[in-house]
Amino acid sequence: MTDTVQLTREDGVAVITLARPEKANAYTQAMLARLRAHLDDLAVDASVTVVVVTGGRKHFSAGADLDELSVRCGRDALDLASRQTFDQLARMPQPVIAAIGGAAIAGGFEMALACDLRVCSPDARFALTETALGLVPAAGGMRRLVHILGAARTKDLVLCGREIDAPTAHAWGIVNSIEGDVLARAMAVARSLQSRDAVAQRLAKMAIDATAAGGVDGALEAAIQAFLYERRRNAASTS
């Protein structure tokens, strides 16, 4: 049986690949469980400094498997596996890069939004289509988009189900760059990240995420910088 969520490691970069191309990488509950298991392992692996998530060149992910979606009940929404998985992805201590080839639709778009940086192909397209099914994006997509786009554009995407192309996603700040070979670009960004101080990066990510959540002022930045100043001084004194 083919592993539909594959993990490889290359010199400190972990690459997670969604591998269900016949279904445009639509994810099942089993795939989400597999993804969570990989994330658990990577979060405590000191040898891994950057994580890349991709679906290959043709599809990032079409979101939740529609056959499974059709049998969901109200209780499932309270402990929604996709929300738990994407929140776990967002909390990863390492920087996480989404390499988006092709479509990122519905929950696939929400998965990409949980990553720290996003690189997409020229033919990439993005949409939150849930309201057409009588649902809403409930795996973190709405709250993350509000931080990126503000309320008006988020409502445009969610209420109207508007599909946007790669140039629009880039202009709106949803993706960081548009590249012909998204995985190669993601790996180049990963190598660039590896050249910087890993502890400072992790603390910076924590501060940015906490600030985006709306509950942090400059005190956290000051505390982090104080720690890093002392760390640098101690390193200098022992060298």
Q: What confidence tens digit (pLDDT) does each residue in 2-55 have?
A: 799 999 999 999 999 999 999 999 999 999 999 999 999 999 999 999 999 999
Both 40 and 146 in one domain: the answer is yes
Active-site positions? 130
Average pLDDT over residues 125-132: 94
Domain holding 48, by residue range, is 5-194
Both tokens assigned to 99:
């390499």
The answer to whether residues 148 and 172 touch, using CB atoms and an 8 Å cutoff, is yes
Both 217 and 172 in one domain: the answer is no
Q: Which of 88, 115, 92 is CA-nearest to residue 104?
A: 115
The distance of Cα 191 from the centroid of its chain, to the nearest Å, equals 18
Both 144 and 204 in one domain: the answer is no
Instruction: Tally the domains of the chain.
Output: 2
Both 142 and 234 in one domain: the answer is no
Q: Is the pLDDT score of 219 beyond 70?
A: no
**pTM for the predicted model, two decimal places:** 0.90
pLDDT of residue 124: 97
Both 227 and 128 in one domain: the answer is no
Both 119 and 226 in one domain: the answer is no
Both 48 and 130 in one domain: the answer is yes
Q: Is the pLDDT score of 216 beyond 70?
A: no
The answer to whether residues 126 and 134 touch, using CB atoms and an 8 Å cutoff, is no
Q: Is the pLDDT score of 1 beyond 50?
A: no
pLDDT of residue 206: 87
Q: Read off the pLDDT of residues 59-118 as tens digits, 9 standing for 90 and up.
A: 999 999 988 877 777 777 777 899 999 999 999 999 999 999 999 999 999 999 999 999
Both 211 and 129 in one domain: the answer is no
Mean pLDDT for all residues in the chain: 91
* CA gap 210, 230 in Å, rounded: 23
